[in-house]
Amino acid sequence: MEEMAAILAHLPIEILTLDSYPEIGDIPETGKTLKDNALIKAQTVHDFTGLPALADDTGLEVDALDGAPGVFSARFAGADATFDDNCNKMLDALNGTPIKERTAKFRTVIAFVKEEEKLWTEGLVEGFILDQRKGSGGFGYDSIFYYPELNKTFAELKKSEKNNISHRGKALRNFCKILEKRIKTNG
């Protein structure tokens, strides 16, 4: 939420979160793709509130695993998996795989729903999956996702560094450009 608020702060919009609508509860992620899930979440919030809604979904796509876990990233090790469980399963799945074959990307899809209008965009960051954890920051797969341009894992980056290069930040900035054009066109 902080990242979204910072990126969209210059626009003449008010951002509300699901905290304002606790009765919505958890929204099932039943889509087959990140785009599907982001649209399901945005549509659900729009249907409930009647307000324009923005939602996202993120996944880690590992080339040596044919793009898995992708849409199942949060539950790679099972429905009730922890971040540690998912990282451990990833490390086991890639055990013995050379680093040059451990290419991966984080992908975030942002979806927007307003009445019949549906828009989406995405952001991605490419890197490698290490064979052991490195760093103590972040969450999810951050401690095993190595970003070559900064020679660090996402877990070794300061929050501000990660926000500048993250897949979610890129998706939000891409969406911001779309929203800016809409605001200029529609007033």
- Catalytic positions are 57
60 contacts 73 by C-beta, under 8 angstroms = yes
Question: What's the DSSP call for residue 139?
Answer: S
Spatial distance between the Cα atoms of 16 and 71, rounded to a whole number of angstroms: 26
Say how many Å lie between the first and final Cα of the chain, rounded.
25
CB atoms within 10 A of CB 108: 23
Spatial distance between the Cα atoms of 24 and 118, rounded to a whole number of angstroms: 20
Paired residues of 103 in beta bridges: 128
Which strands make up the sheet holding 103-114, listed edge to edge?
69-70, 53-62, 103-114, 117-129, 145-147, 152-153
Q: Which residues contact 50 (CB under 8 A, 6 or more apart)?
A: none
Q: How long, in residues, is the chain?
A: 187
